[in-house]
């Protein structure tokens, strides 16, 4: 009896020693993934020293001893370039780190002292280690999930109807090129490659113009697949789902069947492997959203971001989607969503920013709650670029921000109010909001550490329970 | 009985109709792979029209009807960019096509009339189709084959001794960086990444300087693996194979074991998959060699090319190598080796060029003949850039070449004699050979078609027997 108790205790200690958490960070491009991960690593590494993490109990109680980067598990995945990111921030003038492309990975050992009354603390252990695997991947990859619910015909017809007037203008080169393509004609490889290039250019132009709802995601970051037929398909205008029977009888080498084969290959060899090899192994996830950027870009982009986020969040809502749950059964047990760049509005607006984020994700959040996945919304600044000021103007006190623009000019700005709900048309006509892009604080200006807003709150939600 | 004969005949016809050949083209970088493939596709497509293919019987006899590009099989492999290559050649001024990176693929349907007396001809068929799958991959990948015979320790010690004085100078940055690295110390990810970057830079510098014997091959074209730990290893100077026992007892997180794990991962996930997924499925292979370029670059490069080719050819000599034959069992039944850019020497030197190529590949050729793999040596120019002239000088007739240099100057040159055997030291001191880089002929200068030297002879060896 005593022996079995000893064995149980030993198992418990072992499990404690081996504790491991896989935390994934995603967001659409320019949402701030690289800055978030850089700050996360920095803050944990400097816990108890320069890093201020008062909202993370283990840090506040002096039990967090720091973190060290160690060898990652999957040698075939690029390492998250933390050193390069810090070099950019420490440069003069300071620069934002280069955005990552594709997936990257980093493993941290976090040392901490368990709570006295806690399970491990009670065992008299001085310190414990949490192994934190961090993953960073483009949110655009999650936008490809709905592709799996389609075959080529249904996807093709769906894509047609979703083009807004401005997106149609940006895609005019492709629309011209595809107009005369006959689905029944024998496929000409060169012609399909040319039209596909127009399609990829239309997607890139839309991204440049601030749109987020872009499919297929890999067309924007082809990597080693550049020039491969799998990235050379596109929707066929004028198709109707009622044409299915007629289309199915077309010859195997027709334009229609050639594009359909490529679509199926993309599903099988690009979309599925990401879910199977990576996504379903994440324990926790944070989704970063550049709400302020979209607010600044006007109603059409804001609408588009809302649609893209709804699509993206479906990946986490596996309860409802039997196809996905059967295929991938992800094990994410906690989700955070965060509006980034909160330092670009004055502090009293942060509450509004969280409300707006929750409004933007209204439907997906309801689904997640129904699926019983704990989710929490934040506003944060991974790496602070401004300082809050108060300005007296005609006898009134007004909140303002001081920061350095990308051109190197030190400015004082009044960004205005963040709407607390999804903005109605009069918000856009009033143009009540002006977003400025600032560069990071210089080493001198930021002092010790890497100032942030609520990184500690996000950390507490994402890993705090593992540090007790 | 009659029915079974009918069935046999029908099978025969079917087999005829489905005939298929997988032809791979390789060579070290700048050997002329892209020009060769471009010309090959062009010549077959224009057979019976502008293309002159007198050494290919099917063409000479007017039975070759042309070729058409059709959809390739593996949608995940980049398509060989034939159209882009032709655009470059047709540009004004004409340019050599951009070199390909990694593997690429292209499928041709070749239409021909079977010989009257032949099997298919006897069946009264008007025309038949040969499906030709073309693959193009970097010869550098084959240089990685010997890695599979090693573990990290034996590879590491072997790489040390193979560095020539000039290679050591080119690698000095890496040698400095690695000098103080203790194999027993705990691995620092950042430090290993930095030293590995120096190592990759040393390889790139060596390639720029004209060296060919470079390992590991993927360090030169990392693609999507850029920044991944699998491409962050390097030899450890000062190790000795006798240290094995001591090294094995080092901690798992030591520099030594960390590098050894990455080496093993590289073997498993980079080298093997190429042989398993591609190499062993090739039916025929041509290896292109820039003999003239190496001859021009001096004895150390020439030696180095010889070593690299010996290594590269081992991939085909599977008979002797039980490890390889067990793992991959390639089915290559015919091999061609070709000295490219033959138009850069005067025509009477072509015989010497072939002799020199055979001398350069002396040992590998003996092994291949022993393994009973039919192999033939050629000198050729895929796309002719010069015209042969005869010049009278002091009453003597001397052969010369006329071409346009890369700077756009039209010149008359006397490249000199190609040695018929491996050059001895006095060849190098005499400097008897001067190689000029020419740009392609303009559209006007080249007239109809794409002039070449002995592409038809190479085609006859590689596919001629399938066109009877």
Q: What CA–CA distance (Å, rounded) separates A457 from B92?
A: 62
CA angle B53, B59, B65 (to 5 degrees): 120
Query: Which two structure tokens, joined as six digits, stand for A58?
Result: 């283990």
Question: Rounded to 10 degrees, what is the CA torsion of A172, A177, A182, A183?
Answer: -70
Architecture of the domain spanning B2-137+279-384+451-466: 3-Layer(aba) Sandwich (3.40)
| Among the partner residues B228, B261, B269, nearest to A78 by beta-carbon distance | B228
Q: Would you say residue B33 has pLDDT above 90?
A: yes
- A375-379 and A334-339 beta bridge pairing: parallel
A70 CB-near residues (< 8 Å, 6+ apart): A107, A108, A109, A131, B189, B253
Strand, helix or coil at A389? strand
- pLDDT exceeds 50 at position A14: no
Q: What is the pLDDT of residue B444?
A: 86
Please compute the mean of the pLDDT values over residues A323-344 and round it to a whole number. Answer: 79
**Does the beta carbon of B45 lie under 8 angstroms from any beta carbon of chain A?**
no
Structural tokens at position A271: 């979309």
Cβ-contact A384, A89 below 8 angstroms: no
- Count of C-beta atoms within a 10 Å radius of residue B18: 10
What is the average pLDDT across A221-239? 92
- pLDDT(A177) > 70: yes
CA distance B183 to B260: 11
| pLDDT at residue A10, as a whole number | 58
Strands A104-112 and A64-70: antiparallel
Bridge partner list, A37: none
Q: What percent of chain A has pLDDT over 90?
A: 55
Q: For the complex shown, is ipTM > 0.90?
A: no
pLDDT band for position A156 (50/70/90)?
A: very high
Q: How far apart are CA B286 and CA B25, in angstroms?
A: 5
Do the Cβ atoms of A327 and A64 come closer than 8 Å? no
- C-alpha–C-alpha distance, residues B390 and B398, integer Å: 6
Residues of chain B contacting residue A86, judged by C-beta atoms under 8 Å apart = none
Q: Does B93 touch chain A (CB under 8 A)?
A: no
Q: Is B357 left (phi over 0), alpha (psi -120 to 50) or beta?
A: alpha
Q: A356-366: per-residue pLDDT in tens? A: 999 999 888 88
Please state, in angstroms and rounded to a whole number, the distance separating the CA atoms of residues A97 and A119.
40
Question: Which strand (E) or helix (H) includes residue B128?
Answer: strand B128-138
Q: Rounded distance, CA A357 to CA A379, Å?
A: 8
What is the pLDDT, as a whole number, of residue A368?
Answer: 84
pLDDT tens profile A408-418: 888 988 888 88
A229 touches chain B (CB under 8 A): yes
Q: Where are the alpha helices (H) located in A183-282, listed in sequence order?
A: 189-208, 244-248, 255-266, 272-277
Q: Is B69 near chain A, with CB under 8 Å?
A: yes
The answer to whether the CB atoms of B79 and A228 lie below 8 A apart is yes
B424 — phi, psi (to 5°)? -90, 175
A315 touching B (Cβ < 8 Å): no
pLDDT band for position B13 (cuts 50, 70, 90): low
Q: With contact defined as beta carbons under 8 Å apart, do A239 and A156 qualify?
A: yes
Say what the pLDDT of residue A1 is. 46
* Residue ranges of chain A that CATH labels 3.40.50.300: 2-137+279-384+451-466
Tokens of B168: 């050591």
Beta bridge partners of B287: B26, B337
As a whole number, mean pLDDT of residues A1-22 equals 62
Give the pLDDT band (50/70/90) at residue B357: very high
Which chain B residues have a beta carbon less than 8 Å from that of A229?
A: 71-72, 75, 79
Q: What is the CA radius of gyration of chain B?
A: 25
- Using one digit for the tens of pLDDT, what is the confidence trace for B322-346? 555 555 566 788 999 999 999 999 9
Question: Does the pLDDT value for residue B253 go beyond 80?
Answer: yes
Token couple for B208: 């720029």
Residues in A closer than 8 angstroms to B76, CB to CB, are: 225, 228, 230, 265, 269
Contacts of B389 (CB under 8 A, 6+ apart): B399, B400, B401, B402, B412
Using a CB–CB cutoff of 8 Å, tell me whether B224 touches chain A.
Answer: yes
For chain A, give the number of residues. Answer: 468
How many angstroms separate the first and last alpha carbons of chain A? Answer: 29
Distance CA(A350)–CA(A342), nearest Å, equals: 7
3-class secondary structure, A431: coil
Place of tokens 């492309």: A101
Please give the pLDDT value at position B1: 46
Cβ <8 Å between A71 and B187: yes
Q: Which residue of A has its CA nearest to B71?
A: A189
How far B203 CA lies from chain A's nearest CA (Å)? 20
Pick from A353, A336, A214, A350: nearest CA to A295: A353
**Residue-level pLDDT at B451:** 94
Question: Distance of alpha carbon B460 from its chain centroid, rounded?
Answer: 19
Lowest-confidence pick of A282-286, B401-405, B412-416, B451-455: B412-416
Of B76, B253, B258, the CB nearest to A225: B76
| Mean model confidence pLDDT for chain A | 88
């Amino acid at each position: 009896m005593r022996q079995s108790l000893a064995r149980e205790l030993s198992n418990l200690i072992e499990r404690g020693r081996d504790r491991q958490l896989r935390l994934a960070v995603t967001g659409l491009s320019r949402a701030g993934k690289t800055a978030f991960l850089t700050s996360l690593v920095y803050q944990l590494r400097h816990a108890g020293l320069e890093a201020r993490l008062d909202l993370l109990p283990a840090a506040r109680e002096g039990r967090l001893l720091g973190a060290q980067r160690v060898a990652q598990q999957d040698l075939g995945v690029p390492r998250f370039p933390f050193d390069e990111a810090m070099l950019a921030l420490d440069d003069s003038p300071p620069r934002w780190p280069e955005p990552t492309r594709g997936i990257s990975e980093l493993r941290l050992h976090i040392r901490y002292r368990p709570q006295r009354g806690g399970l491990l603390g009670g065992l008299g252990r001085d310190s414990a280690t949490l192994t934190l695997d961090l993953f960073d991947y483009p949110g655009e990859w999650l936008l490809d999930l709905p592709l799996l619910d389609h075959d080529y015909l249904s996807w093709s017809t769906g894509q047609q109807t979703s083009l807004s007037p401005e997106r149609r203008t940006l895609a005019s080169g492709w629309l011209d090129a595809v107009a005369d393509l006959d689905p029944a004609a024998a496929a000409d490889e060169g012609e399909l490659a040319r039209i596909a290039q127009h399609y990829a250019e239309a997607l890139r132009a839309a991204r440049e113009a601030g749109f987020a709802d872009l499919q297929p995601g890999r067309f924007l970051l082809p990597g080693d697949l550049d020039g491969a037929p799998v990235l050379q398909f596109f929707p066929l205008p004028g198709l109707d789902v009622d044409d299915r029977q007629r289309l199915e009888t077309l010859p195997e080498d027709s334009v229609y069947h050639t594009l359909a084969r490529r679509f199926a290959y993309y599903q099988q060899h690009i979309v599925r492997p990401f879910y199977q090899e990576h996504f379903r192994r994440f324990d926790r996830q944070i989704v970063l959203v550049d709400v302020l950027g979209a607010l600044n870009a006007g109603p059409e982009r804001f609408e588009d971001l809302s649609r893209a986020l709804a699509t993206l969040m479906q990946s986490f809502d596996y309860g409802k989607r039997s196809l996905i749950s059967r295929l991938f059964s992800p094990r994410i047990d906690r989700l955070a969503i965060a509006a980034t760049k909160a330092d670009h509005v004055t502090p009293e607006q942060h509450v509004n920013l969280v409300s707006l984020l929750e409004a933007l994700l209204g439907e997906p959040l309801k689904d997640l709650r129904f699926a019983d996945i704990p989710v929490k919304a934040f506003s944060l600044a991974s790496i602070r670029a401004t300082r809050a000021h108060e300005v007296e103007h005609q006898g009134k006190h007004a909140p303002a921000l001081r920061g350095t623009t990308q051109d190197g000019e030190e400015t004082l700005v009044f960004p205005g109010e963040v709407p607390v709900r999804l903005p109605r048309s009069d918000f856009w006509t009033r143009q009540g909001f002006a977003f400025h892009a600032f560069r990071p604080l210089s080493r001198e200006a930021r002092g010790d550490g890497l100032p942030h807003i609520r990184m500690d709150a996000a950390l507490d939600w994402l890993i705090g329970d593992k540090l007790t």
